[in-house]
Structure 1
């Protein structure tokens, strides 16, 4: 039944031009990496790591957090129209299954975007004519690290979009949390504890960095994992109590 619920959610998404939304972010960052005059001035450094820095900064700090809100709004759009929530909850499925299915679908879409971004990063390097070997392991780590870091955002945005009928209200909430991340990444004291800054930290690559997702494991567990569990449980409880 859960698989059927996922298939139904995906069928509704296909009618909202979701494919264009999945490619727009990675393609925009392709121009940043492929047409960047500062790349030629970074002699003496591994060009792949410089490319990662230029491309990951706008992508992980702005696009990735914001796209979670857009996807959450689209996933819940149908239910907010013409009594869709009543139709959905009338099916032989629990509200928990509905909530988890929507979360899983958004998370899978974000993973697709991340994988496409990885391809775009490689393409940007080829356009720049890099001769150094491609650091595939590094790419895999920051692609999946950035994906995991979006889980708290997805949970909060799903909670907001299921609670408020207006997409603008839910998206504004995401913007309010996203913009302070620009300041948080420059703070050694507060940055590592701000959930919306975690995609940047998990995708910030340096040659001498090691460990899982380029950040301490306790940061992954406490900040990303902790905020994800809190937002997920609060959203689930709110949806169970929601009057439909």
Structure 2
């Protein structure tokens, strides 16, 4: 039944125009990257990668996480959709986790498209430096995983608020401080909206990222994901429809 819910949510996604948002961040990051010059850089791939994630991971990944989370709850908030859905022979756990799975899948597709955009620029410009496979893929995967706590939090909020616009507005308001918060070694790692950028940005020696240590990965990102998922799951189990 879980996979039937996932397929049902996927059909809603395909029939809407929201799928176009999968291409927005990779496309804009591509434009930002292709317009820069890298001839004088000894590490062309890393310079390009850092340039592109400055808009992709810092701004669009948190925004898209909120949009996708609000979208998967949108239909159920309209016309008593929650009552109709939960009247079916499905558990609330399957519904909540199915919607969460779709959000995570959308973010994975976005990351894959970002990589394609990034690699395409290197081919177009004919980079001569060696491709940093481990650095890039660690950043791509890490950035995706760093969205998990935010996805759990946004899904919790979106399932609670009937308004489609309210969770989006809140997400935008909390994403905008990223530019300042991400530069703070003290507060940045604890701020869910900044974590994708902090994970994806490479640093000299490539051990982790700019401010995020292994301890932060384990205790902050994983810990906050578990907390947000548990709170959202518990709320949804008791949600009045």
Question: Which runs of 5 or more structure 1 residues have no equivalent in the other structure?
Answer: none
Structure 2 residue 36 is the aligned partner of structure 1 residue 36: yes
Change (3 A) 1:224 1:114: same
Task: Determine the structure 2 residue equivalent to 1:127.
Answer: 124
User: Cα distance, 1:128 vs. partner?
Assistant: 2.3
User: Cα distance, 1:167 vs. partner?
Assistant: 1.4
User: Cα distance, 1:211 vs. partner?
Assistant: 4.5
Please list, as runs of the form range in 1=range in 2, the aligned pairs for 1:102-117 lying within 5 A after superposition. 102-117=99-114
Residues 13, 19 of structure 2: 8 Å contact kept: no
Change (3 A) 1:212 1:60: closer
Query: How many residues get paired?
Result: 241
Change (3 A) 1:25 1:212: closer
Select between 206-215 and 4-13 the one with higher mean Cα deviation. 206-215
Q: Secondary structure at the match of 1:243?
A: coil
- In 1, the alpha carbon distance for the partners of 2:8 and 2:210 equals 33
Question: Which runs of 5 or more structure 2 residues have no equivalent in the other structure?
Answer: none
Task: Determine the structure 2 residue equivalent to 1:243.
Answer: 240
- In 2, the alpha carbon distance for the partners of 1:211 and 1:74 equals 32
CA RMSD of aligned residues (A): 1.7
Residues 41, 47 of structure 2: 8 Å contact kept: no
Q: Secondary structure at the match of 2:88?
A: coil
Q: Normalized against structure 2, the TM-score is what?
A: 0.94
User: Cα distance, 1:180 vs. partner?
Assistant: 2.2
In the alignment, which of 217, 220, 231 is matched to residue 223 of structure 1?
Answer: 220
In the alignment, which of 167, 171, 180 is matched to residue 168 of structure 2?
Answer: 171
Residues 33, 51 of structure 1: 8 Å contact kept: yes
In the alignment, which of 61, 65, 80 is matched to residue 62 of structure 2?
Answer: 65
